[in-house]
Structure 1
Amino acid sequence: MAAPEAYVPRVALVTGAAQGIGRAIALRLAADGLDVAVNDIPSNVGELHKLVEELREYGRLAVAIVADVAKEEEVKAMVKRAVDELGELNVMVANAGIAAVTNVVDMDVDVWDRILSVNLRGVMLCYKYAAAQMIEQNRGGRIIGASSILGKKGAPGVSAYCASKFAVRGLTQSLACELASHKITVNAYAPGVILTEMTRSKLDAKFGQGRHGDATKALVGLDSNGPDAGPEVIASIVSYIVKPETYFITGQAINVDGGVCLS
């Protein structure tokens, strides 16, 4: 194998990008000068295309790719199309995720399977096909997944979500070891209460001061005045991790939670 070229972040692929954290990440990477492929499911295609137009306002190339990250052939095709359209792949952000609130004794197994399918199988498939592409390119790369503070501490009613986010940490550490010789780093972000549609609930009115995010805060043991932030704080961490100088950071699940989990 020829000596690898220096890693330069040129092209990123962000899953679950039609809204929330994924959208903020895609916009930040475009502002940083990357071309960006953005993914989401068919029901979010309208928002995905609006995002592409915003990304192009930064003077970057952008493409919308509709795919279900839980389906292997769709992930394989998604990565191929991103490379075909934008020329290469240097950054994979496996952000797509879903959640449901139910106790284990009341758990519908189909709901359990769907959450694990998207949040864990989907991350694994994104990792797998991004890694294969980056190895072939022989220029290093950055692979990033979505964990959570609920991947570091359990909470009632969210067992499937917690299980998937704990597992993302183990997957991230293992792949970081596997890809070290290829100069590809693998990390995850572990958000606390981030104010997006995922943390907006009809139950907010029943907790704390009834504000956006209060039900989620109660779930993780915080009161209404506990720390929260917008999705730009996660985008900022991703922006940093993808830079060439972060080659010495790998296998980490970085807390971005206002100090809720200290390690």
Structure 2
Amino acid sequence: MSSNSNRVAIVTGAGKGSGKIIALRLADDGLDVAVNDVQSNAFALAELVGEIKAKGRSSSAHVADVSVDGEVKGMVDEVVRTYGKVDAMVANAGVASYDPIVELDVQEWDRIMNINARGTFLCYKYAGLQMMKQGTGGRIVGASSVLEGKACLSAYTASKFAIRGLTQSAALEFGPHNGITVNAYGPGAVDTEMMGAEYPEVPREEIINRFKKMSPLGLVGMPDDIASLVSFLVSKDSQFITGQTISINGGTFFD
């Protein structure tokens, strides 16, 4: 694989939260970073592009809905027209729903599955096709989650389990093509806007303290922790790791 100074990454769902921090970390690592999010986060994307360029790296904003086949293909094609290639895809975009199964309607189930599972599939597919065409390997990374069932998170949990299986299949299919690796990260509680959204009546500080007590380290995750793991999975140092969903949860759950 080429040096980081010549490498190009795509990060989806980069307008805020872990996606933004991942994009900034990859820029610090020396990659040029194309960032993606939906139209409602277009302003945040534009600001992020400015932050990445201030670090001395090239960057561009790509508004697209990852659940729409043509928009994901168009995004990857646009990145290739801009930079000439794609070396890494970080399929980070995702949403959650906090309804009990008996209250979850099929439209909300489909929305969660379409963005999280279908969106990751489409990112893997079109990044993989481009990397195979390039013939120089590549890194594909998806966003799974703590791999255990959660009450009132059935659609989210199912979608994240799907990403684990998809990652394994994609690793087997893409690996023979000059060592394209496919892995996922499985975060536990991370201090982002999504934390505690299922408990709107509980003060945020109390929620953070609850999660800290669940960790033998007495910690809650930060977006920088996730970005550090993604940085490694995107790097050449991870060349012998593929098909894995790597837990990063402060010891609150063991695979």
Asked whether the two chains share a fold, i.e. TM above 0.5, the reply is yes
Instruction: Give aligned-pair identity as a percent.
Output: 50
CA distance in 2, matches of 1:173, 1:133: 19
Alignment partner of 1:160 is 2:155: yes
Contact 1:204/1:215 (8 A) holds in 2: no
Q: CA deviation at 1:212?
A: 4.5
Partner of 2:237: 245
RMSD across aligned C-alpha pairs, in angstroms? 2.0
C-alpha change, 1:215 and 1:29, in structure 2 (3 Å) is: closer
Map of 1:22-171 to 2, 5 A cutoff? 22-149=19-146, 152-171=147-166
What is the deviation of 1:217? 5.6
**Residue number in structure 1 paired with 2:221:** 229
Paired residues of 2:208 and 2:220 also in contact (CA < 8 A): no
CA deviations on 1:22-67 (whole Å, 9 max, x unpaired) are: 0000000000100000000000001010000000011110000000
1:196 maps onto 2:192 in alignment: yes
* 8 A Cα contact 1:193 1:227, kept in partner: no
CA contact (8 A) 2:131 2:137 kept: yes
C-alpha spacing 1:159/1:88, structure 2 compared with 1 (3 Å): same
Q: CA deviation at 1:227?
A: 3.5
SS in 1 for 2:172: helix
- SS of residue in 1 equivalent to 2:204: coil
* SS of 2:160 mapped into structure 1: helix
Off by >2 Å, runs of 4+ in structure 1: 6-9, 200-206, 210-213, 215-218
Alignment gaps of 5+ in structure 2: none
| Counterpart residue identity of residue 189, structure 1 | Y
- 1:21 deviates by 0.6
Q: How many Å separate the matches in 1 of 2:206 and 2:226?
A: 17
| 2:246 alignment partner in structure 1 | 254
What is the rounded CA distance, in whole Å, between the counterparts of 1:140 and 1:190 in structure 2?
Answer: 24
Q: CA deviation at 1:242?
A: 1.2
Cα pair 2:10 2:33 within 8 Å, conserved: yes
Contact 2:191/2:221, CA 8 A, preserved across alignment: yes
Does 2:27 match 1:21? no
Judging changes above 3 Å, is the alpha-carbon distance between structure 1 residues 103 and 253 closer, same or farther for their aligned structure 2 residues?
Answer: same
Per-residue deviation, 1:216: 11
How far is 1:243 from its partner? 1.2
What TM-score do you get using the length of structure 2 for normalisation? 0.93
Give the TM-score of the pair, scaled to structure 1: 0.90
Q: Using a 3 Å threshold, how does the CA distance of structure 1 residues 164 and 226 change in structure 2: closer, same or farther?
A: farther
Q: Say if 1:89 and 1:130, in contact at 8 Å, map to a contact too.
A: yes
Per the TM alignment, residue 113 of structure 1 is displaced from its structure 2 partner at its CA by 0.1
In the alignment, structure 1 segments of 5+ residues that lack a partner are 1-5
* Deviation, structure 1 residue 213: 7.4
Corresponding residue pairs, total: 250
1:228 aligned counterpart, secondary structure: coil
AA of the residue aligned to 1:246 = S
